[in-house]
Chain A
Amino acid sequence: MKGTGRLVATTCISVPPPALTKEGYGRSNPCCTGVVELDESVRVVARIEGVNTQDPDSISAGMPVEIVFHDAKMISRSKPVVTFRLRSVPGER
């Protein structure tokens, strides 16, 4: 898998779970999560970085993303969290 795909749907969470509050997310810094469809047609749920979470309307379905793994302690284990960030595609803005 290449690790590239496109956003299917997202939300910007202003009242995050405690583990994310500890990372600094909250009302003044919402956390974006969503569904990504990989180029291989597999869908995953993921965190989305590099988007303007203060303006959810600026984040739309079809935006191209690429995988980054984000080290964080979620639930009881520490393991990489599936995270994507926006990527630029020639010919698209």
Chain B
Amino acid sequence: MNRDQQRKLARHVAVVGAGMSTFGMLRDRNSTDLFLEAFRDMTESVDNEFDPTAIDAMYFGNFTNDFFVSQSHWGAVLADALGHVPRPATRTEGACASSGLAFREAVFAIASGFYDVVLVGGVEDMSGRSTAEVAEGLALAAMPCEREVGFTFPGVFGVIAGAYFEKYGATREHLMNVTIQNHNNAELNPKAQLNRSIRKIMEDKTRYAADRGDPIPTWLDEKEFLRDAAANPVVASPIHLFDCCPISDGASCLLLVAEDIAHRFSDNPLHVAGIGQGSGRGLHAADDLTSFEATRQAAEEAYGMAGLGPDDIQFAEVHDCFSIAQIMHIEDLGFFGPGKGFRAIADGLTRLDSLKPINTSGGLKCKGHPVGATGAAQLVEVWLQLRQEAGRRQIPRDDLRIGAAHNLGGTGGTSTFTILERR
């Protein structure tokens, strides 16, 4: 066993509350409004009496509100909004993995023995910018050499998809399976941004065409709709519009405490069983374009700490910024072997009611991807599922005990993997 598989926390940590704002293009709310919405939702999820003044410290993930809304320094801004000044507040930045990092730092802060009650969250406010500006802002997280030759994020994942197709014989049809599945799950999630199934989108478009007196589209099924270049235009081959997550505003929030005091807050706390983090180097340095080194490292560390393996994870949220990413991650996390992920999805193994449900929330693709809020929001979904509180999208099993969330930043530059367990 190597040293990455042997790391343990000095003290155990539990999650006793979790909440999120609605995700969407929410121009009537700023970052502070969104965060307070998530905080209120979290507060309501704490089973027992919770006095917010008990919070010892705060860690907030935010990627680049500096660029999106010309405001940085979100630690202090949100601490003030919450009324927790002068308690310490720290902003973490790891591109789209920013709040995955916030969660991890909060766990360490408690495990060290220094704090007992820590608030974790994330926020991003993106939709006030044009699509071109958002793309430019997100590209700040690409590797410098990638930006210099003109890569966009869809472009990076276009290259990765091309490499995956070449290596394993997958096709665009397999990307469509991811899109269809995540839309189906999001339709059951009232907080999701794109909360219609592909079939519902087709029905709506058909009805609008009829209302306007336009020619009625005649798609036979979801895949024919997704093959229609007018309905689903190419962005960066082979990535099309419906392979991409949307531009989103939103916030997420969790309350972490030392495990020995967890029952003061919650009748049903979740144990932080494993946390891992890794870094990566970009496309030019990847020995294999179909796998992220950072994810493999994060997974190894988290599995080692938890004493668990991929087969023990009953369901997971993974960082599906693009459809191809979902396929890569379920392989890098060990749920399916290299080159087997696309077939597993095609065979229905990752559906809500199947062997290994993936992205029951709808994923980044459909729940939305306010980048700094995403990592913590994934853990909100794990919280809901493990506590049997996920409503219509609840995984239909009464033995749910272990779930996980995988967060990725940049073009694979940062990754976190977190395993939560109900005991």
Q: Could you say which of A17, A31, A45 contacts B283, with CB atoms under 8 Å apart?
A: A45
Q: A12 within 8 Å of B by Cβ?
A: yes
Question: How many angstroms between the C-alpha atoms of A18 and B108 in the bound complex?
Answer: 41
Chain A interface residue bracket vs B = 35 or more
A13 touches B149 (CB 8 A): no
Cβ of A23 to closest chain B Cβ, rounded Å: 9
**Cβ contact within 8 Å between A8 and B237:** no
Which chain B residues border A14 with CB–CB below 8 Å? 233-237
Contact with B along A48-64 (1 / 0, CB 8 A): 00000000100011000
Residue of B nearest to A83 (CB): B149
A83 to chain B, nearest CB (A): 8
Interface digits, B139-153 against A, CB 8 Å rule (1 contact, 0 not)?
100010111111110
Q: Is A29 an interface residue (CB 8 A)?
A: no
Nearest residue in B to A21 (C-beta to C-beta)? Answer: B132
B231 to chain A, nearest CB (A): 15
B121 within 8 A of A: no
A62: min CB distance to chain B, Å: 9
Cβ 8 A contact of A75, one of B148, B152, B160: B148
Interface residues of B in 102-138 (CB under 8 A from A): 131-132, 135-136
Candidates B136, B139, B148, B155; contact of A11 at CB < 8 Å: B155
Known: A11-B159, A45-B146. A33 touches B238 (CB 8 A): no
* Residue total for B at the interface (Cβ-Cβ under 8 A): 35
Is A15 within 8 A of B152, CB to CB?
A: yes
Inter-chain contacts of A25 with B (CB < 8 A): 150
Given A11-B162, A11-B236: A45 touches B135 (CB 8 Å cut-off): no
Cβ of B149 and Cβ of A61 under 8 Å apart? no
Question: Which parts of B325-357 form the interface with A (CB within 8 Å)?
Answer: none
User: Which of B148, B155, B283, B285 has a CB less than 8 Å from the CB of A13?
Assistant: B155
Q: Is A46 an interface residue (CB 8 A)?
A: yes
Measured in the bound complex, the distance between the Cα atoms of B135 and A14 in whole Å is: 13
Q: In whole Å, how far is B37's beta carbon from the nearest beta carbon of chain A?
A: 31
Shortest B32–chain A CB gap in Å is 29
Considering the complex, give the chain B residue whose CB is closest to the CB of A74: B148
* B166 (CB) vs chain A CBs: closest residue: A61
Q: CA of A12 to CA of B236 in the docked complex: distance in angstroms?
A: 5
B170 within 8 Å of A (CB atoms): no
- Indicate if the CB atoms of A46 and B149 lie closer than 8 Å: yes
Quick check: B136 and A13 within 8 Å, CB to CB? no
User: Known contacts A14-B234, A17-B136, A45-B145: does B159 contact A81 (CB below 8 Å)?
Assistant: no
Q: How far is B240's CA from A11's CA once the two chains are assembled, in angstroms?
A: 12
B284 adjacent to chain A (CB < 8 Å)? yes
A21 to B130, CA, bound (A): 14
Contact of B235 among A15, A19, A45, A79 (CB under 8 A): A15
Given A14-B236, A61-B166: A9 and B289 interface contact (C-beta under 8 Å):
yes
Decide: B283 and A35 in contact? CB cutoff 8 A.
Answer: yes
Q: Are B159 and A10 interface neighbours, CB within 8 A?
A: yes
Q: Do A44 and B145 have beta carbons less than 8 Å apart?
A: yes
Tell me the minimal C-beta distance from B216 to chain A in angstroms. 26
The listed residue with most B CB atoms (<10 A of its CB), out of A30, A33, A43, is A33
B305 within 8 A of A: no
Asked if B362 is at the interface (CB within 8 A of a chain A CB), the reply is no
Q: Does A68 contact B (CB under 8 A)?
A: no
**C-alpha spacing A34/B236, complex, angstroms:** 11
Which of B132, B149, B238 is within 8 Å of A56, CB to CB? B238
Q: Is B202 an interface residue (CB 8 A)?
A: no
A16 to B284, CA, bound (A): 20
Q: A33-B151, A82-B149 are in contact. Are A45 and B237 (CB under 8 A)?
A: no
- Contact, CB under 8 Å: B147 / A75: yes
Q: Which of B140-184 contact A (CB under 8 A)?
A: 143, 145-152, 154-155, 158-163, 166
Q: Which residue of chain B has its CB nearest to the CB of A44?
A: B284
Given A9-B160, A14-B235, A17-B132, 8 more A-B residue pairs with CB atoms under 8 Å apart are A9-B162, A10-B159, A11-B154, A17-B150, A34-B159, A45-B149, A75-B148, A82-B148
Which residues on A are within 8 Å of B, measured CB to CB?
8-21, 25, 27, 30-31, 33-35, 43-47, 56, 60-61, 74-75, 79, 81-83
A sample of 5 inter-chain contacts (CB < 8 A) reads: A27-B233, A44-B284, A47-B149, A61-B162, A81-B148
